[in-house]
Amino acid sequence: MSLGILRSRAISLASKRFLCTNAASASPPLPPPPSAASPSRWSFLKYALVGALTGGTVFAGYASYAYSLDEIEQKTRSLRESAKYTAGDGVTALDKFQGLLYSTAMTVPAKAVELYLDARRVIEEQVKSYTEPYTDKLLPDLLPQEQHVFTLVLDLNETLIHYIWTRDTGWQTFKRPGVDAFLEHLAQFYEIVVYTDEQNMFVDPVIERLDTKHCIRYRLSRPATKYQDGKHFRDLSKLNRNPGKVLYLSGHALESCLQPENCLPIKAWQQQDIDDTALLDFIPFLEFVARSSPPDIRPVLASYQGCDIPSEFIRRSKEHQRRMQEQKNRGRFWK
Amino acid sequence: MADSSSNSKDHHNTRVYHPYQDLNVPIQKLYNLPTAPEHLFPEEAARTHRSWGDNLQYYTGSGYLAGALIGAARGTVQGLREAESGDSLKIRLNRVLNSGGHAGRRLGNSLGVVGLIFAGLESGMTYLRGTDDLVNSAVAGLGTGTLFRAAAGPRSAAIAGAIGGIAAAAAVSGKQALKRYVPI
């Protein structure tokens, strides 16, 4: 066996050597190439074209990043106008020829810019159908006899409910303590709207269970939000309501709304916080707002900025009562 | 169910809360707050075990997978042991793969069928008796063994039924003991 292997290896070595010598002897030297002019010209044109396309692509990318559509349209108007040459009266043949030559030279950049603008407009309209609310009027018009009614916009997750997934029990959804009494009491004074960034198929069954007495008039979900900087924001200006009569109550109010002057921050709730009373604590403040009915709620909320609104409201009410008592005492002293 | 105190039912497991208590106003509004997290979907909280469909898929898939792995391992060892001197690497590899695949498929199918029958019988027993305990599993195991060996004759079916019942009871008891005594 080993002798056979050695014999086969010797045969292969001999054949390799023979083939090498045979190939070397059989191949004559190649003649030199005739001329390098044509390949050089084609290479130059190819590299010029690739360079132009690369430069154009890089410039288009930078323009997309740095400028908006209207800015580019305004900046390039002069360029695009220079491609349309109309011979005026009284010009000489030489000036006419020069103008025609210039407009012809500028046609290609102008066409490229117009192509870029059209493509970008189409793409931006496609994207906008996903990022913008589906209409500018998310709610129907108020009835004439309800023009004075405030609109209370509520969030869902960590404001009215909280849902978690665990390996032992799967998905569980919990109600915040006092949510039924909160909705039932404030439906007498407010138009209650739920505006959340969850999907429709999650919102509908949750509200059907949460709102058994039909206190919530409208429910808005993710298609009604505005997608901006990777987050879904509530746009209260699209609610078709007087902006001075809209209140947005959420556990993440200031970072999930485009109008922070209408926000009522509440503590974000999770199901292990069983002693939470924040929803019920808001009832005195919200009832007072509904009864006193200020013409614009935004300066009122601006005065509460940075405070815990229920406790601040209680403190102000006590101070107001004390001042009224002092006035009463002073009147009695004079008499 | 958090509600006004005018609703007098379901007062247990609640505490009374007065949001106006710090204000000297004549408004008297008492709210009953729950003392435990309140489920929005009560059927989520009431779910204590897998549904019959989940059980069927779980037992069948787990049985097939376990049988396939054990059978493949055993077939691989057998194929390696049957190697003859002088076989090339390709022939040896081919024998190992054939033996492993064949034994794995056969044992996987058997255990999958056993799992299917057991899950069906256990779910049926739970539905009929209305309760879920050790008796269901033991009777389902006995029925599974009997059905699996029914074609091999009454004596073999009886023995298989006894083995199945004992195995199912031991498995359930072992699982309960594991949950109770092993700190996981």
Nearest-CA distance from A32 to chain B in Å?
A: 52
Res B50: pLDDT: 75
Q: Judge contact between B99 and B82, C-beta under 8 A.
A: yes
> Are A158 and A211 within one domain?
yes
Q: How far apart are CA A96 and CA A93, in angstroms?
A: 5
Query: Residue A9, SS3?
Result: helix
Q: What is the pLDDT of residues A137-176, one digit of tens each?
A: 888 888 888 888 899 999 998 999 998 887 667 788 899 9
Q: In terms of domains, do A277 and A305 share one? A: yes
CA A129 to chain centre: 11
Q: Which of A9-18, A194-203, A292-301, B24-33 has the lowest mean pLDDT?
A: A9-18
Query: Would A164 be classed as within a structural domain?
Result: yes
Chain B residues touching A206 at Cβ < 8 A: 40
pLDDT at B7: 43
Nearest to A284 among B19, B34, B36 (CB): B19
pLDDT surpasses 50 at B52 = yes
Per-residue pLDDT tens for A255-276? 888 889 999 899 898 888 888 8
**Parallel/antiparallel/unpaired status of strands B31-34 and B38-39:** unpaired
Residues A294 and A262 in one domain: yes
Quick check: A172 and B39 CB within 8 A? yes
Amino acid occupying residue A98: Q
Domain containing residue A310: CATH number: 3.40.50.1000
Q: Which residues contact A103 (CB under 8 A, 6 or more apart)?
A: A82, A83, A84, A85
Which of A131, A155, A190 is at the close of a domain? A131
Specify the pLDDT at position A37: 55
Whole-number pLDDT of residue A228: 85
The confidence score (pLDDT) of residue A47 equals: 92
Q: Do residue A72 and residue A163 come from a single domain?
A: no
DSSP, collapsed to helix, strand or coil, labels residue A232 as: strand
Statement: residue B39 has pLDDT above 90: no
Task: Give the pLDDT of residue B26.
Answer: 59
Q: State how far the Cα of B138 lies from the Cα of B129, in Å rounded to an integer.
A: 14
The whole domain housing A201 covers 147-330
- For residue A216, being part of any structural domain is answered with yes
* Residue A107 and residue A83 in contact, taking contact as beta carbons nearer than 8 Å: yes
**B3 to A180: CB separation less than 8 angstroms, yes or no:** yes
User: Do A198 and A316 have their domain in common?
Assistant: yes
- Tell whether B58 lies on the interface with A, counting CB pairs under 8 A: no
Tell me the nearest-neighbour CA distance from A221 into chain B, angstroms: 19
Q: Is the pLDDT of residue B59 over 60?
A: yes
Q: Judge: B19–A280 Cβ closer than 8 Å, yes or no.
A: yes
> Which of the four pLDDT bands, split at 50, 70 and 90, describes residue B6?
very low
- Tens digits of residue pLDDT in A212-231: 888 899 999 998 898 888 88
pLDDT band at B175 (very low <50, low <70, confident <90, very high): confident
Distance between B64 CA and the closest CA of chain A, angstroms: 24
Taking the Cβ of residue B28 and every Cβ of chain A, the question of whether any pair is shorter than 8 Å is answered with no
- Are A126 and A261 within one domain? no
- How many independent structural domains does chain A possess? 2
Chain A residue numbers with beta carbons less than 8 Å from the beta carbon of B20 are: 284
